[in-house]
Amino acid sequence: MTLQRRAPFGSSRWYRAGLAAVVVTGVLLSVSGSSARASTNTSPAQGARKSPVVATSDGAVQGLTTGSTTEFLGIPYAAPPVGPLRWEPPQPAATWSGVLAATQFAQNCAQPASPFGVASTSENCLYLNVYAPSGRTGAAAKLPVMVWIHGGALDWGESNDYDPAGLVAHGVVVVTINYRLGALGFLANAALASGPGGPSGDYGLMDQQAALRWVQSNIAHFGGDAGKVTLFGESAGGLSVLSQLASPGAKGLFSRAIVESGTYALTTTPLATAEAAGESFATAAGCADQSATCLRSLPVGAILAAQNPAGYDPNVDSDVLPESLGTAFATGAFNHMPVIDGTNGDERRLFVGLYQLAGSTVTAANYESTLASRFAITPAAAAVVALHYPLSAYPSAPLAYAAAWTDESFSCPALTLDQSLSKYVATYAYEFNDQNAPERYLAPVGFPYGAAHESEVQYLFSLSNTAFPGTLSSAQVKLASTMKTSWTNFAKGANPSSPGGAHWSRFTPTGEQMWSLDTPSPKVATTFATEHQCAFWSQQS
């Protein structure tokens, strides 16, 4: 039986709704009752010493060395997108004389207060940070480069939160970036198109490309090899990586890609749909005349107040994304390079927990109606889903619901992407499965979060906020070491395998081998499609 849907499955609207519920309703994430996330500390670490001066195409910079890592923080990669540059493609940064003290993070991009990023009204936010092994700067080093795109539903977040010292210790240079978010980064409106057929929307993706161009021009001075750039990101950052893989404008700017939990929106918003939403935004914000002049004169606060709380996605656009992501990967119309793609085994448990904390609890009595609402399907179709995810098979109704939602919106789209990519490029697939991964500061919800969305990030980075306060066990520290080694091996040689260690088999449409990242030891898994009922979900497409 094929489900009769009122709306397409796989809509990123449902991914964002979980986060939006938290922001809009003010859900308290902290056990102590505080919903305000601590601001990132930008003070230099104790014992830090000045680094050598490094030249860039815009001017000289000097960072700080702490331990075995040299950090260059707050380097501008594009001009502030303010005034007439608001909702325009990023322009070159201004040059400077003397030496820029690159010792503190710059402002993060404008966003409302949330548990996922520090509130800001600044549009002057197009900055990046470079982390290199101490003593390894200079063109002779030629170290692989990894450029990180943070998550946050394209609405929230900042580069500051991710300390990549553990990756840098493996002999790579890591770059973390800020990019325009929310309406300022992804609003599409015909009035904003720069000339006939010019881009409308996707400004945040254009920022990411500008940062990648900066890397190509400058990273050699920091010890990096511009010919070995790995673009990686999680959640909205993973979706951004996929968008850059499909974007003609990113061709030649990177040569490997790692996608973490980024496959939730493979059907890209059509331009007409995005521009219609942009017209509604303009009216709500006080620009009923739909003029670029009015839109560019709006206070940032007014934009944040009027933007869609359920968030934004990239949209199809003639310059940046010529076609939907799923179509591009299925037909081979993307920038060909090796790819690692993965998801977490229990992605949606985080969102189900957030909804429950916001007052929306899944029970046996409302299970089917919740499925119908979530997937925008008829009651009869929801009953079919419930037959595939019977309450009797799960400890609780929330876990049954989370399993169905995980499979529909993350796991099976990831499998579809792997099948498409593997026809054209070397593809490595994984599933993060540590059921005991430390979780955010969340009040108890009566079920374990398991390997939830975002929980793998703490195994790759030291996080400089309070999102994951738990301490990794010795077994988890070992898993984290394995993951760092695999990610950096991929950056070095386009293969995550280790000589004498973990061997990642390439994913093939027939073999469908995935690497299950779990304690006590990762292992190869071949039952992903069955475990996540992807044959069932493929029938609903």
Determine the Cα–Cα distance for residues 434 and 519; give it in Å rounded to an integer. 6
Q: Mind giving me the DSSP string for 62-130? A: EEEEETTEEEEEEEE-S----GGGTTS---PPPP-SSEEE--S--PPPPB--BTTB--B--S---EEEE
CATH topology of domain 45-326: Rossmann fold (3.40.50)
**CA 490: distance to chain centroid?**
19
pLDDT digits (tens, 9 = 90+) for 312-351: 899 999 889 999 999 999 999 999 999 999 999 999 999 9
> Which percentage of the chain shows pLDDT scores above 70?
89
Stretch 116-130: mean pLDDT = 96
Residues with Cβ within 8 Å of 533's Cβ and at least 6 positions away in sequence, in order, are 388, 389, 407, 412
Strand 427-432 vs strand 69-76: parallel, antiparallel, or unpaired? unpaired
Q: Are 314 and 242 in contact (CB under 8 A)?
A: no
Domain ranges of the chain: 1-35+338-541, 45-326
Measured in degrees and rounded to the nearest 5, phi and psi for residue 285 equal -85, -5
> Which is more confident, 12 or 6?
12
Q: Is the pLDDT of residue 10 over 60?
A: no
Rg, Å, the chain Cα set: 22
Mean pLDDT of 127-141: 90
Residues in the chain: 541
* Token pair recorded at residue 192: 């904003």
Residue 525 bridge partners (DSSP)? 514
Give the integer Cα–Cα distance in Å for 22 and 309.
10
Q: How much is the pLDDT for 135?
A: 85
Amino acid at residue number 201? G
Q: Is the pLDDT score of 34 beyond 80?
A: no
Tell me if domain 1-35+338-541 and domain 45-326 are identical in fold. yes
Judge whether 77 and 92 are in contact, CB under 8 Å: no
Q: Are 270 and 200 in contact (CB under 8 A)?
A: no
Q: Which contacts of 383-391 are long-range, i.e. CB under 8 A and separated by 24 or more positions?
A: 384/1, 384/3, 385/3, 388/533, 388/536, 389/533, 391/364, 391/367
* Active-site annotation, residues: 235, 347, 453
Per the structure block, which two tokens stand in for 423? 């026809």
pLDDT in tens, 148-203: 999 999 999 999 999 999 999 999 999 999 999 999 999 999 999 866 556 789 99
Sort strands 69-76 and 60-66 into parallel, antiparallel or unpaired: antiparallel
User: How confident is the model at residue 468, as a pLDDT?
Assistant: 72
pLDDT class for 44, splitting at 50, 70, 90? low
With 80 as the cut, is the pLDDT of residue 418 above it?
yes
* Lowest-pLDDT range of 4-18, 27-41, 460-474: 27-41
Torsion over CA of 238, 242, 244 and 245, rounded to 10 degrees? 140
Confidence of residue 31 (pLDDT cuts 50, 70, 90): very low
Pick the CATH number of 1-35+338-541 from 1.10.10.350, 3.40.50.300, 3.40.50.1820, 3.40.640.10: 3.40.50.1820
Kind of pairing between the strands at 523-525 and 514-517: antiparallel
Q: Retrieve residue 481's tokens.
A: 């070491």
